[in-house]
Amino acid sequence: MERALQKEIAEQQSEESVKRKKNLLLKRAQSLSVQGSHAVDWTKPVSPLFPPETPDPSLPEAFPDFQRVTISGDYCAGITVEDYEQAAKSLLKALLIREKYSRLAYHRFPRTIARFLRKTENQIWQEEDEVLPVLYLLPYPDLETFAIDLSHVLAMIADGPTKTYCHRRLNFLASKFYIHEMLNEMAELKELKRVPHRDFYNVRKVDTHIHAAACMNQKHLLKFIKTTYQTEADRAVLDKGGKKITLKEVFRNLKMDPYDLTVDSLDVHAGRQTFHRFDKFNSKYNPVGASELREIYLKTDNYIEGEYFARLIKEVAKDLEESKYQHAEPRLSIYGRSTSEWENLATWFIQHKVYSPNMRWMIQVPRIYDIFRLKKIVPNFAKMLENIFLPLYEATINPQKHKAIHVFLKYVTGFDSVDDESKHSDHIFSYKSPKPEEWTTDDNPPYTYYLFYMYANIMVLNNLRQERGLNTFQFRPHCGEAGSITHLVSAFLTADNISHGLNLKQSPVLQYLYYLAQVPIAMSPLSNNSLFLQYSKNPLREFLQKGLCVSLSTDDPMQFHYTKVRITDKRGTDPHGVPSRDAVQRTQFSGGCCESGG
């Protein structure tokens, strides 16, 4: 029996050997026939063994010749077909939801993704799809529909098969980056050196996340305080109970001499003591711990009508203009205490000529309804929303009556929602949540509640302004720095882009969705290091390698930076193991901030 089996195996091996030999002889014969089919002319140059490849017409002429890796085979390797289909359907629906809300508010949505989404619906994407008709009914958001969409994405990020698929895809993207880096690093550097008159220092850089009250570094603020004291010590700068107080008297009451002030005694720089202490961080906006100095130097609505603050910002703007290639989008505050805030801010902007070609402006709305309600400044949440948005509707409909606001809005690019995300709210947002006019309790509404009603107003306002040929606004909230993962889900539906996004690391599904939709994320590692996340644990480099649309921003230079060229320093240093020689990645950060800016 064994002999018969061995004989059969030997015969099979012999047959395979014969087949291999026949194939080899056939190839050899074909090769010889090609060579012998014509007489060889040794006077002619020998043609190459492989003909040169015809260039791809879709690529530009100067496109670098990088090595590329192609993955072929089973597209759902590692998971079952059923799980793959379930994950694909969930991701597709989430992208369609984001596209819907982005289109309604005139936010950006990647055209590449839009084309793929049209294919899934057996439609053809056309550029005209992004153009709305001249006459149409203005859309408005529906709370119940939004709550259903939100619950779908929330359920999706907890779905097992979707989590597995997204986790594997993210690992795959990171691996592709490592392979590309290994194969093409030298080619990239060579290509970089060929580019004339362009390097890291003269590519455009935009600081898309910076607060106006902290846009200067601590040395700049100290120098400005000393200069004003030397030249205007007898100027009245405060009004307390009808009594005018001069700058000299302010420092006398604080028992200090500006001549003796140092950056250390100014005490505006954040350090270890502010880690997970947002209250202590906010106190750093008070120079030498004195709220009087903050009101004098860092406010727009004070006794001197914000003159010192305007001069400080204009000095920062002058530095940007001299650098030529640096731009910024500082954030100014509108609190929602009264409708006169917009008129006062616009008047300050025009009166002091706080304009720079290197600056555009963002409006930040702090989530502090509970403080206003406690002080009986507003009766309900609807009144706060009215104070924030009603002047904008009026200026859009009747710009002649509100000229200052109309002019100021030309230089405003968007809105931000700011405050401590780690604050907990007992209320869970749903379609049964009280309407804004019904929210009369002293409790602060949850994060999602703020985002939905801010998005709703921005959406209607954008449609109104678009109809009149005016500029529209982006919604770019602080999101994902701390707190619940639901904040990032809310922002995925409502925001054009976000600031921070650290908590994306906790959810592979959300991280993959932000990658697919290319939602811009302005990250601030130095700020995070002093507040919520150590430098070494920051996911910035990881996000970059996986292909998320990330950029670097300063957040608060007064608290975190030392030099005037803070945005260049931030991108030029080695924050997360980004090799100092890798100018490609540093320039990529600059490109990301230009794409996400207003």
DSSP for 452-466 reads: HHHHHHHHHHHHHHH
What is the per-residue DSSP string for 481-520?
Answer: SSS-THHHHHHHHH-S-EEE-GGGGG-HHHHHHHHHTT--
Q: Where are the beta strands (DSSP E) in 182-242?
A: 205-211, 236-240
* Domains, the chain, ordered by start: 200-596 (3.20.20.140)
pLDDT at residue 130, as a whole number: 56
Return d(Cα 213, Cα 164) in angstroms, integer. Answer: 44
pLDDT at residue 11, as a whole number: 60
CB atoms within 10 A of CB 358: 18
Cα–Cα nearest to 526, from 264, 271, 206, 219: 271
Amino acid identity of residue 152, one-letter, is: H
Q: Tokens 């990529």 label which residue?
A: 588
List phi, psi (to 5°) of 513.
Answer: -65, -45
| Interacting residues of 461 by C-beta distance below 8 A, sequence separation 6+ | 389, 392, 393, 396, 473
To the nearest 10°, report the CA torsion of 461, 465, 471, 476: 10
Q: What residues form DSSP beta bridges with 417?
A: 365
Return d(Cα 305, Cα 296) in angstroms, integer. Answer: 9
pLDDT at residue 425, as a whole number: 84
Q: How open is the CA angle 247-252-256, to the nearest 5 degrees?
A: 105
Cα–Cα nearest to 98, from 562, 491, 454, 571: 491
CB atoms within 10 A of CB 467: 14
Task: Decide if 548 contacts 511 (C-beta within 8 A).
Answer: yes
Return d(Cα 126, Cα 261) in angstroms, integer. Answer: 62
Q: Could you give the C-alpha distances from 155 to 90, 507, 585, in angstroms and in order?
A: 10, 12, 35
Per the structure block, which two tokens stand in for 442? 């002293």
| pLDDT by 10s per residue, the chain, length 598 | 555 555 565 565 556 555 544 554 444 344 434 334 444 443 444 343 334 444 455 555 555 678 887 777 766 667 788 888 888 899 999 999 999 999 998 898 888 888 888 887 766 656 655 555 555 567 788 899 999 999 999 999 999 999 999 999 999 999 998 998 888 888 888 887 888 877 777 888 899 999 998 888 888 988 999 999 999 989 999 988 888 999 999 889 888 888 888 888 877 767 677 776 766 766 777 787 788 888 999 999 999 999 999 999 999 999 999 988 899 999 999 999 999 999 999 999 999 999 999 999 999 999 999 999 999 999 999 999 999 999 999 999 999 999 999 999 999 999 999 998 888 888 889 999 999 999 999 999 999 999 999 999 999 999 999 989 999 999 999 999 888 999 999 999 999 999 999 999 999 999 999 999 999 999 988 888 877 788 888 999 999 999 999 988 888 888 777 666 655 555 444 444 443 446 666 666 555 555 656 5
Q: Indicate which residue of 478, 500, 561, 576 is catalytic.
A: 500
Q: What residues form DSSP beta bridges with 412?
A: 361
List phi, psi (to 5°) of 206.
Answer: -120, 125
How far out from the chain centre does Cα 200 lie?
A: 21
Q: What is the pTM of this model?
A: 0.82
Check if 406 is active-site: no
Task: Classify residue 48 as exposed, middle or buried by CB count within 10 Å of its CB (0-12, 13-18, 19+).
Answer: exposed
